[in-house]
């Protein structure tokens, strides 16, 4: 199979999404630092580029965050070629992979919130090269964690308040606010 790689900009100007025509991972893996990538041969190799400051994998793409001093015009082709070669050589994203269906836990309201985040919000956030994780629900406040291109994205507050909060408030009347936990 010939591996094709194409790039998409994300709402975060520091990140770019490198899409491939092959499933890379079920779920997602976030490597926000070079140290966190020790168990990922693929991410570890990407961090060898001095202009890479973050790596996030989900389904058929890898989102790469660049350092402030790098320009996409200078590094995009290099990273595209690397991703193509890494996928063709089947470089592992994680040494040990565990595939599991999402297990929603908590009260009936918490399970409903998690299901909505999983079914409606997650696919949209993944389209922008990011991921969202449910953390908690307490006294009307839903706490989530944004990763990948969503972490530090200038428009993530708008996404959180206008998109996710409005959706959850419509579908789960007990929700009064949605906040993001800082990483």
| Domain residue extents for the chain | 5-89, 108-181
Residue 114 and residue 137 in contact, taking contact as beta carbons nearer than 8 Å: no
Q: What is the pLDDT of residue 24?
A: 87
Residue 106 and residue 114 in contact, taking contact as beta carbons nearer than 8 Å: yes
Cα–Cα distance, 94 to 100 (Å, whole number) = 15
Q: What is the pLDDT of residue 159?
A: 73
**CB neighbours of 52 closer than 8 A, spacing ≥ 6?**
46, 64, 65, 66, 67, 79
Cα–Cα distance, 164 to 168 (Å, whole number) = 6
pLDDT in tens, 121-134: 887 777 777 788 89
108-181: CATH number: 3.30.300.130
pLDDT in tens, 61-79: 999 999 999 999 999 999 9
Give, in degrees to the nearest 5, the angle at Cα 47 between 41 and 53.
Answer: 135
H-helix or E-strand spanning residue 65: strand 61-66
Residue 93 has pLDDT above 70, yes or no: yes
This prediction has a pTM of 0.64
**Encoded tokens for 112:** 């409903």
Strand partners, 134: 144
Architecture of domain 5-89: 2-Layer Sandwich (3.30)
Cα–Cα distance, 71 to 57 (Å, whole number) = 21
């Amino acid at each position: 199979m010939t591996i094709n790689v194409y790039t998409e900009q994300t709402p975060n100007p520091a990140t770019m999404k490198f899409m491939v025509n092959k499933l890379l991972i079920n779920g997602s893996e976030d490597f926000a630092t070079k140290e966190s990538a020790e168990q990922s041969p693929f991410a570890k190799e990407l961090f060898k580029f001095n202009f890479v400051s973050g790596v996030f994998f989900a389904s058929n793409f890898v989102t790469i965050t660049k350092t402030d001093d790098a320009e996409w015009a200078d590094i995009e082709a290099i990273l595209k070629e690397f991703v193509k070669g890494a996928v063709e050589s089947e470089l592992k994203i994680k040494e040990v992979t565990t595939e599991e269906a999402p297990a929603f836990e908590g009260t009936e309201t918490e399970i409903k919130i998690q299901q909505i985040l999983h079914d409606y919000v997650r696919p949209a956030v993944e389209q922008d090269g990011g991921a969202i994780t449910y953390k908690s629900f307490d006294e009307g406040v839903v706490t989530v964690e944004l990763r990948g291109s969503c972490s530090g994205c200038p428009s993530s507050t708008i996404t959180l308040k206008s998109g996710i909060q409005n959706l959850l408030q419509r579908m789960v009347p007990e929700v009064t606010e949605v906040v993001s936990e800082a990483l």
